Structure 1
């Protein structure tokens, strides 16, 4: 079978032919139909992600496909069942072996492309906003990078929770997509000056959803209302923001770290409950993944470059 493999961190990932794996105890073999790309995949290819597996490994954090074979001791799943998996790696391949406990059944009406684009982005935004940021109905939230993979889902989820959403993105086209997802206010980060002044003009913000980092974070934080919350999701800009502790103290502002994947290790039931809720929202028509482009597996390197170049909005998906 074909798989996009990382053999060392000095050379780009390469599409190789590798042996078809057999499922062990508690595992399932999945014929993969689609794999959603994430910013973390690019970090993993360079060996800089916090959960980079040992070399060699196959890229691809989240995937969807069909159960092809069950390992010993697996119950609750059947051959031919449609599932999505937050695997951490292994999704950019024609097949793969994964823990049965990580396989989430998906509705028959849910396309594999949607399922592969769903778990990480919507799971991150839902759990981050509900559990960590404690977003309340009627509060104002600014989303930095509002047209990106997780940012766009934050707009959708925040709007569904009844918040007033301020979308920050670069360019009119990206802002239009954020508006369609439920944003109430639009700010072009490329042309409209200091973000702090724009947010202050709206009356400040209660929650900052930050998957960008750098100067935008610092500017947004200065527009936080008393008892505001900065939810730290990632650093797509490549820069870590500098936060002034005296500003946090004077306004009683919280800085809340959030790593969605970490819950797999210490509270997996929290992840499961969150994913079940957003899956129900999808079934009810409240959520619709925005996939800007799909690529075949043979062009997986181009798909990663498309994501890296920031040309994408929402998710990029590779199909098998």
Structure 2
């Protein structure tokens, strides 16, 4: 198999490509041939040793994928060789063969192509968990999404609308806001041109927002928190701006609001049944075009450094997906017992 490898920490240009032996699935595992691998912002951090997850060197980046089952390990049922599946694996997907636990896979509906199926786990999974389990977002509530035109922000716009919220997109340019509106945002705030706190207050007629979805961090977090409604929920999703804000805790007292952490990876481990229900909902929405699973670009695996730099420089509006080279004529697999 061919694998994109992080052999030393650093920028995307440090990644190398190696031919490696095909892995063999063990009990409860499945060998998958990824056709598409979706990248996320945290991939730029994990290869630089700046992420909370620190895999041993060497490793492949890429935490989600779509492909087909090649072989089954002992005791696996519920999937079959040749079946099209998608899955999540934290890291390691940027290669032409991948071993994952069978219960981490989701069947892909025929109406959903590989490009769009590959990127449904991490961003959409995180967002549905954030809005459903953590914020308990209700129909008719206001939802402000910071960084609304990025790959993570767009999922919050779409899922927020799917759940019946009034979505206020917040981004750094009018072009980005126009883009977010095409995915369902009802209002937009350019926080590069106006004060975010005051704009959110105006957008809600002075009441404040019920829920803030913040995957950006930096200077905008406190401003958004100051625009919260009574009993509001502020979701801490990530820090794409690179700075972890220091929030004055007296604001939570004065606002009667909650700051809620969103750690999707741990949720997957601790509440697998709820995670599977969430993913079934997401794949159903995607198959019925209720969410777009928008793909900004599909690049070949050998251009992974370019793809990661697009994320690092915040040039992506939607998912960045890698096309993995396939072996000629291979469409089915086998069982390994």
Which residue of structure 2 aligns with residue 302 of structure 1? Answer: 306
Higher relative contact order (CA 8 A, sep 6+): 2
Query: What does 1:259-270 correspond to in 2, within 5 Å?
Result: 259-270=263-274
Deviation string 1:111-142 (CA, Å, 9 cap, x unpaired) is 11111111111111111101101111111110
Q: What is residue 80 of structure 1 aligned with on the other side?
A: 82
Pairing 1:243–2:247 present: yes
Partner of 2:257: 253
Gap change, CA 1:25 and 1:207, over 3 Å in 2:
same
Instruction: Between 8-17 and 54-63, report the one with greater CA deviation.
Output: 8-17
Alignment coverage as a number of residue pairs:
319
Match of 2:170 in 1: 168
Partner of 1:200: 201
Root mean square deviation, CA, Å = 1.2
Q: What SS does structure 2 have at the residue aligned with 1:58?
A: coil
In structure 1, the partner of 2:5 is: 5
Alpha-carbon distance, 1:196 to partner:
0.5
SS at match of 1:43: helix
Contact 2:123–2:152 under 8 Å retained in 1: yes
Does the alignment pair 1:135 with 2:134? no
* Long gaps (5+) in structure 1: none
Ranges in structure 2 where 5+ consecutive residues have no aligned partner = 325-337
Question: What residue number does 1:281 align with?
Answer: 285
- CA-to-aligned-CA distance 1:227-284 (integer Å, 9 cap, x gap): 1110000000011112111111011110000111111221111211111112122222
TM norm structure 2: 0.92
Cα displacement string for residues 146-197 of structure 1 (whole angstroms, at most 9, x for unaligned residues): 011111010000011111111011223221221011101111222x221001
Which whole-Å CA distance do the structure 1 matches of 2:109 and 2:53 have between them?
A: 29
Q: Distance in 2 between matches of 1:80 and 1:49?
A: 35
* Secondary structure of the structure 2 residue equivalent to 1:121: helix
Comparing 139-148 and 284-293, the one that deviates more:
284-293
* 8 A Cα contact 2:177 2:189, kept in partner: yes
Query: Which residue in the other structure is 1:155 paired with?
Result: 157
Distance between the aligned counterparts of 2:128 and 2:210, measured in 1? 17
Partners of 2:159 and 2:263 in 1: CA distance? 17
Shift of 1:10: 4.3
TM-score of the aligned structures, taking structure 1 as reference length:
0.97
Give matches, 1:10-21, under 5 Å.
10=10, 12-21=14-23
Q: Does 1:220 align with 2:224?
A: yes
Aligned partners of 1:180, 1:97: CA distance in 2, in Å? Answer: 38
Q: Which runs of 4+ in 1 moved over 4 A?
A: none
Aligned residue in 1 for 2:328: none
